[in-house]
């Protein structure tokens, strides 16, 4: 199955009064407060290389170090003094003009399952325009792994992309509003359809410019036109994030 890897972060359930008891010690002053549930999901979309060859995805995972939710314009942490919460596997704190949820988490980008589970965090009600996500290597020293199959010289060929990099990816675009009596979902979308678009991967494979291991095509620096593809892919990943909006009225 071909996928667009969609980071559905921040399903904001606005709950002004109950949150005060859920987040003991949170002094909100006069600010209205909403609840944000961090989550992940994926949506179908073709992934193509420069020749138009399709790369199906059967497994995909990434390691996220932290998520920064930038506060509405004109708002800073003085609106929510004492915003410090957390659990055994994460912390949440306000820092200047943003709320940071710190992990790390390993994310299955196809099933949406995070290990450990992503937290629910309080936010200030208002309009949000930007979210930054830091990707870092995990326990296996890899940041992103994608596996699937493509067609090389008429034959179905399994492939594996395994990258170790650190990058802070900004998600901007459509704004979303956290307000009373509305369920707001801000979708952080990583679009891998653009990651291979400038690289002739299947041609490199046919020409023998990419290595194989036990029959699996390794998408990593090779020879010829594919000698520096890892930097190209990481650069494309960094520019592929966008912020979308989705509302479900109660």
According to the model, what pLDDT value does residue 186 have? 64
Lowest-pLDDT range of 57-66, 71-80, 116-125: 116-125
Task: Express each pLDDT in 69-82 by its tens digit.
Answer: 898 888 888 876 66
Residue 207 is part of which domain span?
3-249
Which helix (H) or strand (E) covers residue 182, if one does?
A: strand 182-190
The answer, yes or no, to whether residue 98 has pLDDT greater than 70, is yes
The number of distinct structural domains making up the chain is 1
According to the model, what pLDDT value does residue 99 have? 87
What is the reported pTM? 0.81
The answer, yes or no, to whether residue 149 has pLDDT greater than 50, is yes
Lowest-pLDDT range of 11-15, 75-79, 156-160, 186-190: 11-15
């Amino acid at each position: 199955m071909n996928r667009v890897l969609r980071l559905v972060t921040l399903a904001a359930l606005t709950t002004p009064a109950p949150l005060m008891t859920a987040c003991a010690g949170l002094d909100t002053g006069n600010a209205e407060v909403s609840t944000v549930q961090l989550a992940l999901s994926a949506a179908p979309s073709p992934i193509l290389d420069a020749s138009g060859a399709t790369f199906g995805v059967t497994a995909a995972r990434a390691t996220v170090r932290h998520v920064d939710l930038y506060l509405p314009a004109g708002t800073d942490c003085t609106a929510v003094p004492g915003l410090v919460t957390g659990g055994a596997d994460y912390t949440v704190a306000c820092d200047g003009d943003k709320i940071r949820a710190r992990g790390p988490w390993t994310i299955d980008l196809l099933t949406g399952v995070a290990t450990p589970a992503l937290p629910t965090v309080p936010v200030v009600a208002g309009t949000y325009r930007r979210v930054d996500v830091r990707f870092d290597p995990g326990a296996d020293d890899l940041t992103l792994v994608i596996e699937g199959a493509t067609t090389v010289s008429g034959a179905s060929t399994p492939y594996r992309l395994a990258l170790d990099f650190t990058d802070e990816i900004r998600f901007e675009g459509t704004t979303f509003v956290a307000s009373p009596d509305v369920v707001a979902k801000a979708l952080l979308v990583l679009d891998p359809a653009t990651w291979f678009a400038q690289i002739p991967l299947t041609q490199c494979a046919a020409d023998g410019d990419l290595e194989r291991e036990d029959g699996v095509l390794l998408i990593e620096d090779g020879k010829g036109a594919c000698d520096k593809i890892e930097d190209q892919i990481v650069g494309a990943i960094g520019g592929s994030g966008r912020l979308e909006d989705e509302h479900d009225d109660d």
